[in-house]
Amino acid sequence: EETPKAKKKATPKKKASPKKKVAKGTESSSDEETPKAKKKATPKKRKSKSTTSDSEDDDSTTTKTTKKKSSSSPKKKAKAADHQRWTERMPLTRLWNPETAMTSKGSYTFTVISWNVAGLRAFIKKQPDALANLAQRYQADVICLQEHKLQDVHLDDPKLKIREHFEEKLGGFESHWSYSTTKKGYSGTAMFIRKRGGGDDASKKGKKQAKIGAFFTSKNKEGDEATKGDSIGDIPVSHLQPLNVMTELGLPKHDGEGRTVTAEFPLFHLTNVYVPNSGQKLDRLGYRTEEWDTDFLNKMQQLEKGKPVIWLGDLNVAHNEKDTWNEGAKHLVKSAGTTPQERASFDQQLGAGFVDAFRHLHQDAMGHYSYWSQRAGNREPNKGLRLDYFICSKDLMEDDDDRKVVVRDSYMVPDELGSDHCPIVLEIEIKK
């Protein structure tokens, strides 16, 4: 009988189940001690420990993480502050009015346009009227193209009809081509120079341009401007005609890639150039900065001994922070066009007595780029680089009574589509 009583006394211990309820916690219970031990083992501390270890794997600590997050976020902000992000295109004041110059001073405005078309065959398929419209809009005297990627056989290919295309669209211009002979579908430059003289169709096109093409000014070449025999206004037509055009530098180690066309005019030399890209892996950086840049500068200095020089085109360098939307980004020092070596080499060229026309005339202008990565979709947000330039002899930037030629304005045309570059424009006053 003792045993059952003992059992009865033991069974009430089951009433300890209320204690379990109060303890809220122990779910299975053949033994009370185990739950209590579990209670101690499963305190919130242990839960926090497990949480901590999980977050250490993901974000490296919870309690520490919160501190780290608060301390790490300012670091990110500090990095962002160091990394320029300039996408606003500041308003640009136009410095020159060609029509006013003609009527008030008797001066002629010689307009040069440069554009890297990134493959001419694809370009004229996408934008067949772009060059003709550009010539009309700005009343161009010279249009320079870079990276046309053609071979000489392509011009007269009956399937491509490229020569026919330009005879139709730019019939008032004489074309001069330089091709890459070392590599097909690569590089290449071209220069279109307005024809002069009473018999050609340049004057006819001039009359059309007066109606169609006045974006900044209503002047038209040889149309609305008073033409007297062999002069336009008070300017001899001979001043506007090239004396000679060369499609090589005369340097065999560089001429195989078709990178230059040089026209000698009576008052200045004009060289269209497509400077070699250093490459994604910078495999041509040494060639570009130590050979090409040096030899090309020497050539320009030789030409300058006779008369002032303008060289223009895609120079494949963003000179400084004003020419780069994301100056300070770590990858720039290892990216073609923004390496310290390329920038230093460009500095040397400018230091030899030449001037970046746009930056000289618009010193504080920001957000004026000429190239945007299509792959990254950077054009619309204006995340660009300024890679295209007009570089001029210092003499051309100075205005006094003895100067017959003065550079008056330079600007980009970012709304003109068809390439990952946009056209750039130079306006030169030729005085009577």
Quote the pLDDT of residue 1: 39
Higher pLDDT, 249 or 73: 249
Higher pLDDT, 330 or 47: 330
**Pairwise CA distance, residues 120 & 127, whole Å:** 10
**Pairwise CA distance, residues 341 & 294, whole Å:** 13
Residue appearing with tokens 């065959």: 121
Quote the pLDDT of residue 233: 83
- Find the DSSP H helices in 59-186: 63-82, 98-100, 120-126, 130-138, 152-155, 162-169
- Find the DSSP H helices in 362-418: none
Q: Is the pLDDT of residue 72 over 70?
A: no
Q: What is the mean pLDDT of residues 225-247?
A: 85
Quote the pLDDT of residue 43: 52
Q: Is the pLDDT of residue 306 over 50?
A: yes
Give the helix/strand (H/E) hosting 168: helix 162-169
Mean pLDDT over all residues of the chain? 83
Q: Is the pLDDT of residue 209 over 90?
A: no
pLDDT band at 231 (very low <50, low <70, confident <90, very high): confident
Q: Is the pLDDT of residue 229 over 70?
A: no
In this structure, what token pair is assigned to residue 255? Answer: 């001429």
**Among 195, 188, 189, 150, which Cα is nearest to 170's?**
195
**Pairwise CA distance, residues 103 & 274, whole Å:** 36
Quote the pLDDT of residue 230: 86
The pLDDT tens digits for 321-357 are 999 999 999 999 999 999 999 999 999 999 999 999 9
DSSP three-state, residue 316 = coil
pLDDT band at 38 (very low <50, low <70, confident <90, very high): very low
C-alpha 100: how far from its chain's center? 32
Q: Is the dihedral of CA 81, 84, 86, 90 positive or negative?
A: positive
Neighbouring residues of 49: CB distance < 8 A, sequence distance ≥ 6: none
Q: Is the pLDDT of residue 212 over 80?
A: no
**Among 207, 313, 309, 215, which Cα is nearest to 265's?**
309
**Pairwise CA distance, residues 406 & 395, whole Å:** 8
Active site residues: 274, 314
Length of the chain equals 432
Q: What is the mean pLDDT of residues 204-210?
A: 36
pLDDT band at 220 (very low <50, low <70, confident <90, very high): low
**Pairwise CA distance, residues 319 & 158, whole Å:** 42
Q: What is the mean pLDDT of residues 384-393?
A: 98
Q: What is the mean pLDDT of residues 39-45?
A: 51
Residue 335 is classified by DSSP as: S
